[in-house]
Amino acid sequence: MSEKTNESRIFEQTPEASSRTVRAQDAQARPDATGKACRPSGSGGQPDARASRWGSRNADRTLLFRPHRANSAWLNLGQRVFPMVLSSDLPVDLEAAILDLKRERNALVLAHYYQEDPIQDLADVVGDSLALARAAQTADCDLIVFCGVHFMAETAAILNPGRPVVVPDLEAGCSLADGCPAGAFGEFVGQHPGAQVLTYINASAEVKAMSDLICTSSNAVKMVESMGGAPLIFAPDRHLARWVSKQTGRDDLIVWPGACVVHEQFSARELARLKVRNPEADVLAHPECDQGVLDQADFVASTTGIIQRAVEFPERPSIVATEEGVFHSIRQQAPGKVLIPAPGADESCSCSQCPYMRLNTLEKLYLSLRDLGPEVSVDPVIAERARVPIERMLALS
Ligand code: 13P
Ligand code: SF4
């Protein structure tokens, strides 16, 4: 899709606010986990920079489309395989059926801002990683349904021992979590004896269990500052690490070199060209973006921060360098606001959609509530260790 088409698409869309959705704008959370089957190419050990290029991402996307367990069929179109949930399994009014099941199960549905619009509309809480972790910590329900990626649901499970946590699609992973395997990370930590370990919440339970403190993009600066001046390992996002390092003046961070396949593909060169065509636009970027993109940003923040800034200036167009799921919330609060997705190097792709987050669909949400699965489980010993740095972060935030 060309940038021009992207821009026109934005003018055409009108958001619908949902009275059923409670927004968690205060941003505080903690997630975690590993999406084992949809790891990007080269992510078996140290993260592979090639995973952010479109060639390998497109290849990954083919693998990412898998049928929901036991409730779907394969649909072969050329070389690609797409999931096809059997329509006979589904009620005609899916939204009403989901609401009925939520009541029946006494379930709490949590959704990240990167989920598709209909899922956000049906959720009890929509938020960024920190807000969702907080919501999980204070959950009062019989079942948590986590619409996000695996590390987020894993965090909810760690904070809720004994309470089932289910997800629409167990394969929804994250390039950061998948690119930091526990074995290799343990060796990395072992190479820096005496260093404290601060881990971004986008990591598996096993990696969290090796950490002294967890952070999210909205509290990373504060968490680094809370750790004093001792040697500090920061994992697994090198871009967030570099941004935090600049904000705190800590140029001695020991960094695990992972990256997000979505944010890393935004192109600084194409962004500069887009800015020339939209000189009045405010550029909003997530700190997982590359330095060349962050250098051109007017505002750098977590998803909640980006939404708040966009809503604060409803008349000013925004170029947004994060997953385009945030547009839904912005449009609900600032109807008519002009939103322009930041461009990737390849303008023919849906670059600003996270292929992992987008594995979750309304159909799979319905099935997870109906079948009480797939359930996210964490080894109790790992969970007990991982809970300590997560709760420490929540107490400090
Ligand atoms: P937030 O913590 O800003 O919600 O970010 C989560 C994430 O996965 C970013 O890619
Ligand atoms: Fe992971 Fe990036 Fe997707 Fe966020 S957007 S869940 S960091 S792959």
Q: What is the rounded average pLDDT of the residues 212-217?
A: 98
The residue whose CB lies within 8 Å of the most ligand 2 atoms, and thus the one to mutate among 263, 350, 359, 360, is 263
The protein residue whose alpha carbon is closest to atom 4 in ligand 1 is 128
Residue 72, phi then psi, degrees to nearest 5: -150, 170
Count the Cβ atoms, other than its own, within 10 Å of residue 272: 14
Residues 324/306, Cβ–Cβ less than 8 Å: no
The finding on whether 176 has its CB within 6 A of some atom of ligand 2 is yes
Q: Give the number of other CB atoms < 10 A from CB of residue 379.
A: 12
Residue 3: per-residue pLDDT: 35
Ramachandran region, residue 42 (left: φ > 0; alpha: ψ -120 to 50; beta: rest):
left
Tell me: pLDDT of 356 over 70. yes
Name the residue at shortest CA distance from atom 6 of ligand 2.
Answer: 174
In this structure, are residues 124 and 22 in contact, taking their beta carbons and an 8 Å threshold? yes
What the block records as the tokens of 211 is: 């950490």
Query: How far are the Cα atoms of 149, 309, 346 from residue 33, in angstroms, in the given order?
Result: 8, 29, 30
Q: How far is CA 205 from CA 49, 159, 287, 304, in A?
A: 24, 11, 23, 24
Alpha helices in 278-345 (DSSP H): 291-294, 303-312, 326-333
Write down the pLDDT at residue 350.
Answer: 64
From 146, 171, 261, give the residue whose CB has the most ligand 2 atoms within 8 Å, as the site to mutate: 261
For ligand 2, whether the C-beta of 342 sits within 6 Å is: no
The mean pLDDT of the chain is: 83
Smallest-distance ligand from the CA of 111: 1
> What pLDDT is attached to residue 61?
29
Position 334 pLDDT exceeds 50: yes
What is the structure's pLDDT at 372? 98
Distance 392 CA to ligand 2 centre (A): 23
Give Cα 44 distance to the centre of its chain.
20
Per-residue pLDDT tens over the stretch 107-161? 999 999 999 999 999 999 999 999 999 999 999 999 999 999 999 999 999 999 9
Mean pLDDT, to the nearest integer, of 170-179? 98
How close is the Cα of 217 to the center of ligand 1, in Å? Answer: 7
Task: Place 40 in a pLDDT band, splitting at 50, 70 and 90.
Answer: very low
